[in-house]
């Protein structure tokens, strides 16, 4: 039975998204709150740290992609509204319980990094590595690892070949586990996280190569592939790659004594100049645990930096972006209050829009890769 609409909510005559997008942001607040109350425990809203304030204020849980997927899996809610990007909603669907449905408010909210590793390209790369005799089809020779920021198809690819998924906080553990199996790793899709992780473990830079899917043999000679211990996929985060070494120098000149902390998706040259490196959750904790009066320049997405600046100001902690022209995650920004209101009010009509469903075969192997990550943790 559908849930009745509260008479105080003025709605468009239809549930078309177009009728919502023409309305101003501020007009959504009361409607979102009212719909949320009526839906009650049937619905959970997840908000990624990079989400805009106008949306994340309604989230039941905030966090990075994997933390939010775990929260979704633990919840008993029938509907999981994921205010993030496509790969995050896919991961939530992979981990979801039977009967749960995952919704992405805007299907155009993708991830440029995840899109840089297309499954056909990765399969072609693997075939070439097999042809060189560096591995077999099952991963006996090279262990494929993928960052959480990848499609379900890539996660399944790794799971089926003996690999696993990692986050920015447990990448080192994933590398150690992989090297206990094989002498080589194929790391997808973020070259910077892979390089920073391997270097921090003591592997010299000359033991990595970068595979460019748009070049013949990835742009790497067979000899270099045989010598390399880590094959890095040529992918990156469009937000974190914008930070440059000169930004670190500039902020230290302007604010003597300031601590520079950055996400490991940043370039190796930036991470080498930083005082600290950490996942999104780790960056927050570093600031949280710092004494009053501490000052930080943070190399990560601008919405999160601005939010931390506000939240820690009462503790007399200064938080600024590493770059004054700090970049926002444009795909995450696609999810607006209008999109959130649209999906919630449709649920009140028993109408599920923008459901994310991972095919059963892909879901199986992606779940294997995610479960392996939990096992090594």
Contact (Cβ atoms closer than 8 angstroms) between residue 266 and residue 250: no
Same domain, 263 and 210: no
Same domain, 264 and 278: yes
Contact (Cβ atoms closer than 8 angstroms) between residue 28 and residue 6: no
Domain boundary residue, one of 222, 238, 254 = 238
Q: In 3D, which of 72, 76, 67, 62 has the Cα closest to residue 95?
A: 72
- Asked if residue 376 belongs to a domain, the reply is no
- Asked if residue 2 belongs to a domain, the reply is no
Same domain, 134 and 47: no
Model confidence at 8: pLDDT above 90: no
Helices and strands: H and E segment counts in the chain: 17, 14
d(CA 168, CA 272): 16
- Asked if residue 96 belongs to a domain, the reply is yes
Same domain, 26 and 47: yes
4 pLDDT tier (thresholds 50, 70, 90): very low
Q: What is the β-pairing status of strands 101-103 and 355-356?
A: antiparallel
- Asked if residue 326 belongs to a domain, the reply is no
Contact (Cβ atoms closer than 8 angstroms) between residue 328 and residue 305: no
Same domain, 244 and 312: yes
327 pLDDT tier (thresholds 50, 70, 90): confident
* Strand order across the 276-277 sheet: 276-277, 259-262, 295-299, 318-321
Same domain, 227 and 314: no
Contact (Cβ atoms closer than 8 angstroms) between residue 262 and residue 299: yes
Model confidence at 154: pLDDT above 90: yes
Q: What is the DSSP letter of 205?
A: G
Residues 302-313 have a mean pLDDT of 93
Q: Per-residue pLDDT tens for 14-63?
A: 478 988 998 998 899 999 999 999 999 999 999 988 888 899 999 999 98
Same domain, 136 and 223: yes
Report the run of H or E that residue 164 belongs to, with start and end. strand 164-166
Q: Domain range holding 296?
A: 240-321
Confidence at residue 51, expressed as pLDDT on a 0 to 100 scale: 87
CATH number, domain containing residue 305: 3.40.50.10800
Same domain, 170 and 222: yes
Same domain, 99 and 121: no
Same domain, 95 and 199: no
Confidence at residue 133, expressed as pLDDT on a 0 to 100 scale: 97
Same domain, 208 and 123: yes
Confidence at residue 14, expressed as pLDDT on a 0 to 100 scale: 45
CB-based contacts of 223, cutoff 8 Å, min separation 6: none
Domain boundary residue, one of 321, 342, 372 = 321
Q: What is the β-pairing status of strands 259-262 and 276-277?
A: parallel
Question: Average pLDDT over the chain, rounded to whole?
Answer: 92
Q: How far is CA 333 from CA 51, 88, 96, 253, 329, in A?
A: 6, 15, 25, 32, 6
Same domain, 152 and 264: no
Number of domains in the chain: 3
- Asked if residue 374 belongs to a domain, the reply is no
Would you tell me how many other CB atoms lie within 10 Å of the CB of residue 99? Answer: 7
Share of the chain above pLDDT 70, in %: 95
Q: Per-residue pLDDT tens for 334-374?
A: 899 999 999 999 999 999 999 999 999 999 999 999 999 98
Instruction: Give first-to-last CA distance, the chain, whole Å.
Output: 43
């Amino acid at each position: 039975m559908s849930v009745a609409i509260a008479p105080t909510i003025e709605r468009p005559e239809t549930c078309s998204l177009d009728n919502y997008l023409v309305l101003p942001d501020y007009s959504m607040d009361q409607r979102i709150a009212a719909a949320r109350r009526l839906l009650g425990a049937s619905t959970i809203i997840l908000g990624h740290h990079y989400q805009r304030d106008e949306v994340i204020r309604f989230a039941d849980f905030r966090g990075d992609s994997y933390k939010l997927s775990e929260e979704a899996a633990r919840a008993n809610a029938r509907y999981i509204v994921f205010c993030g990007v496509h790969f995050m909603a896919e991961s939530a669907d992979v981990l979801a319980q039977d009967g749960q449905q995952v919704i992405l408010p805007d299907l155009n909210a993708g991830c440029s990094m995840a899109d840089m590793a297309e499954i056909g390209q990765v399969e072609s790369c693997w075939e070439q590595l097999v042809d060189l005799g560096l591995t077999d089809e099952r991963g006996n020779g090279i262990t494929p690892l993928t960052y959480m920021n990848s499609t379900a198809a890539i996660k399944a690819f790794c799971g089926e070949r003996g690999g696993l998924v990692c986050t920015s906080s447990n990448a080192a553990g994933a590398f150690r586990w992989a090297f206990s199996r094989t002498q080589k790793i194929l790391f997808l899709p973020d070259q910077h996280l892979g390089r920073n992780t391997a270097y921090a473990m003591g592997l010299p830079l000359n033991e990595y190569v970068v595979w460019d899917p748009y070049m013949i043999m990835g742009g790497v000679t067979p000899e270099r592939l045989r010598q390399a211990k880590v094959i890095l996929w040529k992918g990156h985060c469009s937000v974190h790659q914008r930070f440059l070494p000169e930004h670190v120098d500039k902020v230290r000149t302007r604010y003597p004594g300031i601590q520079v902390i950055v996400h490991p998706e940043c370039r190796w040259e930036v991470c080498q100049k930083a005082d600290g490196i950490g996942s999104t959750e780790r960056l927050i904790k570093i600031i949280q645990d710092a004494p009053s009066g501490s000052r930080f320049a943070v190399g990560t997405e601008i919405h999160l930096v601005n939010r931390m600046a506000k939240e820690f100001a009462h503790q007399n902690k200064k938080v600024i972006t590493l770059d004054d022209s700090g970049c926002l995650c444009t795909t995450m920004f696609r999810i607006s209050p209008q999109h959130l209101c649209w999906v919630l009010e449709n649920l009140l009509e028993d109408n599920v829009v923008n459901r994310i469903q991972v095919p059963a075969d892909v879901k199986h192997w992606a779940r294997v890769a995610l479960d392996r990550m939990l096992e090594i943790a």
